[in-house]
Amino acid sequence: MNDSSSSALYQKLTHYCSYQERCTRDVVHRLRDWKVPKSMDSKLIRQLKGKGYLDELRFARVFTRGKFQANQWGKVRIRYELLSRQIPENLITEAFQEIAEDEYQEQIRKLILKKNTEIKTEKNFKKREKIITFVVGKGYEIDLVLQVLEEIKLAYDSEGRH
């Protein structure tokens, strides 16, 4: 590639990164979509990082906040998604500081109560099981889900009694 096409490609990438927060993996995938030779990856990524268009920690923070608030995902699901995007564990840990512990537990509480009203079953034990499956499926830790269930008194004994 010559300098003018390299410059045009860099401009396209800056627009791509400005439009929405991106991680390095997103940029590499976009470069593959555009049929850009792999040999150009590191130079372009270095330029984007140098100019602040690409920042893994900033991406992890925005992703964490967004998925927690908009999708109501728990940390287990968020961690899995960030790892799949090749975000290092230390940055994930730092990004989790975006979620206040009381907010996190309140979100679990809301999900439990919402699911509790949606489930139409006579058997309380089955209801409890479905609630746990739902909230854990959203990416929340089982021990926290059980703790919050106990706190809001939706815990049932093995006989299915309240």
Range with the largest mean pLDDT of 14-28, 114-128, 147-161: 14-28
d(CA 68, CA 66): 5
For 36-70, how does the pLDDT look when each residue is reduced to its tens digit (9 = 90+)?
A: 999 999 999 999 999 999 999 999 999 999 999 99
- Output DSSP code: residue 37: -
Q: What is the pLDDT of residue 161?
A: 45
* Chain CA centroid to CA 56, Å: 14
Question: At a CB cut-off of 8 Å and minimum separation 6, what does 102 contact?
Answer: none
d(CA 5, CA 105): 51
Count of positions (residues) in the chain: 162
Q: Residue 102 CB: number of other CB atoms within 10 A?
A: 8
Q: What is the pLDDT of residue 158?
A: 41
d(CA 110, CA 87): 29
pTM confidence score? 0.86
Domain boundary assignment for the chain: 3-50, 57-98, 101-151
**Helix residue spans in the chain (DSSP H):** 3-19, 24-33, 41-50, 56-69, 75-84, 89-95, 101-118, 124-137, 142-151
